[in-house]
Structure formats: structure tokens, C-alpha cells
Amino acid sequence: MAKVHEITVWARGVIMDKEGRDVINIFAQAAQMEGKFAQAFDNYEDLPDRVLVTVRKYVRLSDEAIEHKYVYTNDHPEVVVVIEPTIVKGIDILRGMEKGGTLIINTNRSIEEMLKFIPNANLLGTVATVDADAITGVRTVDFSGSEGGGDTSGIGKGIASPMAGAIAKVTGLIKKENLAKIVSDVSGMERGYNEVKIKKLG
Amino acid sequence: MAKELPGYGTIDVPKDRVVPFGAVTPAPVCQQDLFQTSNWRIVRPVKDDEKCTRCLICYLSCPDACWVYKEEEDVMEWVNNFCKGCQICIQECPSGALTAAPELDFPDGVVRLNKPF
């Protein structure tokens, strides 16, 4: 079986639930356009309908059909994306990560400042930050697209587009050209791609 | 004291926790340590003791009883491991003693968990 790339996205319930889900949907659709096999789904145990609760969203990419049967969590994430920076303080976001993983945070703070809050940062190979809030100017677009709702604002209208651009650049798993066909905010995605700050750790 | 609950069998209520019907209890009497909610917070309330008049409106308005009045020291005490950062106390404070500060400005104060809750 080919290697399965696991990507975990951390967001906050209600206020960033749609943004978190947009990131995984954009990412999985772009991977499928390149002929990869992709899965994108929310965590089943989390409480996305409670304001501010941390929620997890997952993507899996592979060159062959993914044979993870009945497993609905990413137990060994290769890439961890944090949509709201305060999450790094309260949760072990790197749990299960193997050495040399990647962390991407949406923040305007410096990488060194964020690493202070992560006691197990020695697992990381790459850390990147992108100020997606400043690029789009909004943090919450709307509350549609949650369970049972319709998605009226389009996929990637808010901070999801710059985050997806940043992930594409840092991980190299998907191409920017395919992202541009999916997201509704193409300029935001381009800015996220260009403005992400990357630091390699020893 | 064993109590019959229809369909649920019996539960044992400790003697010091038994109350008469319609009683008013000072709540909460204990902390639920299995449900720490400090990592829900994006901002935290920071109080200014000079401006605080001890009117106890923060104590009344907090949905999670995270403001406690310490009578001996005459100060309000903030319960950091259950405050969700809802900012109701900041909105309600009549003397403007409370302000919202980003949680990442502080090195600690959040209980670090393995899972979301």
C-alpha cells in the first residue's frame, strides 16, 4: 500500500467550523484533480455546535486507494494545520506525529513565540506561519455549511483560501494551479502562498 | 441515603449532599475536574483592582461561576481553568474594571489536554 499522507486541521466550533471544513475540502478536491486518492471528513467525537470548542478536520492523500477501514481519526498526522493560534496552548496538537512533521499556524506572531507554547516541538521538522486573518480581513464568513446547512458563500471565501495556499507551498502535496480552480478567493489564496513564513528546524 | 429512581434503580446520595425539595444551594460546591474548558479561550478577562467596586455583577453574570469573591482579602478571584473566554463579564462590568487580553500574551493559565475535552 502506498504511503498515506495524513493532514489534521484544528479549528474552533461554530465560529471557524466552516473555515476549517473549507480547508480540508479544498485540499482534497485539488488532490483529486491531480489524480490522487483523497478523503476529507470531520472528527466524529468533537462538538462543532459549541462555540469555541476545538474541532478536528482530517484529510488523507495517497497515490493508491486508501484502505483505512473504520478508522475515522488521523492517528499519525504528517501535517498539522492550526486555524486559530490559541489552540497550541491548550491542546497537544502534535500527538501521534512522527519526527520531522510539519506545523502550519494562522497567526501574526513570530514562529519563535509560538514554539514556546509547544513543549514537544522537537517532533517538528518544519514550522510555518501565515497571517490569514490579515489577508482576508475577516475571521468568520458565515455560519452556513455546518451540519445540515447549505453552503451559500462559496468554498474558501474566508481564511480557508490563504490557509490552503500556505499548505500547498509548505507541503508541496498539491499544485497552486489546481487550488485556483476551486477557491472563490483566488487572490487571497495567492497571498497566502506568497506570504507564508517557513522555518526548518534541525 | 438510597433513593429510588423509576427505571434507573437506586442511587446513593451522601448525607451531606441531601437537600429538601425546593431548596436553594450555593452552587457550584465542587469543580468538575474531568471537564476543563480553559482551552476554549481566545481572550481572557483581566481585572483592575483599582477600578473594581466589588459589586459582584461579574459573579452573577458568569455562566460558569468563574468569578469568586474572596472575603478575607476583599478581592474577586478568577477561576482560570474553567473560564471559556465568553467575555460576558467584560460586557456587564459597570465600572470598566475588566478588559479582554489575548490568551497568547500569557505564558500559562491554560490546562493542556491531549484531546479537545
DSSP for A20-72, written as a single string: HHHHHHHHHHHHHHTT-EEEEEE-SSS-TTSTT-EEEEEEEEESS-----S--
pLDDT at B2 over 70: no
Q: CA-to-CA distance for B68 and A123, rounded, in angstroms?
A: 40
- What is residue A183's predicted lDDT score, i.e. its pLDDT? 92
Give the CATH number for residue B26: 3.30.70.20
Note whether A117 contacts B85, CB cutoff 8 Å. Answer: no
Interface A–B counts its CB contacts (< 8 A) at: 59
> How does pLDDT run across B4-60, given as a tens digit for each residue?
666 666 677 788 878 788 877 666 677 878 788 999 999 999 999 999 999 999 999
Residue B76 included in any domain: yes
User: What residue spans define the domains of chain A?
Assistant: 5-200
Residue B90 included in any domain: yes
% of residues, chain A, pLDDT over 70: 96
Residue B60 included in any domain: yes
Note whether B112 contacts A113, CB cutoff 8 Å. Answer: no
Give chain B's count of helices (H) and strands (E): 2, 6
Residue B113 included in any domain: no
> How does pLDDT run across A94-116, given as a tens digit for each residue?
999 999 999 999 999 999 999 99
Q: What is the mean pLDDT of chain A?
A: 90
pLDDT at B95 over 60: yes
pLDDT at A202 over 80: no
CB burial readout A39-61, b (16+ within 10 A) else e? bbbbbeebebeeebbbbbbbbbb
Contacts of A195 (CB under 8 A, 6+ apart): A130, A131, A135, A162, A166
Which residues in A lie closer than 8 A to residue B115 (C-beta atoms)? Answer: 91
Residue B117 included in any domain: no
Residue B42 included in any domain: yes
User: Among A127-141, A143-157, B18-32, B53-67, whose mean pLDDT is lowest?
Assistant: A143-157
Residue B112 included in any domain: no
Q: Among 3.40.50.20, 3.40.920.10, 2.40.30.60, 3.40.50.150, name the CATH number for the domain at A5-200.
A: 3.40.920.10
- What is residue A146's predicted lDDT score, i.e. its pLDDT? 61
**The total number of structural domains that make up chain B:** 1
Structural domain boundaries enclosing B32: 2-105
Contact B117, A53 (CB under 8 A): yes
User: Among A123-132, B17-26, B88-97, whose mean pLDDT is lowest?
Assistant: B17-26
Residue B115 included in any domain: no
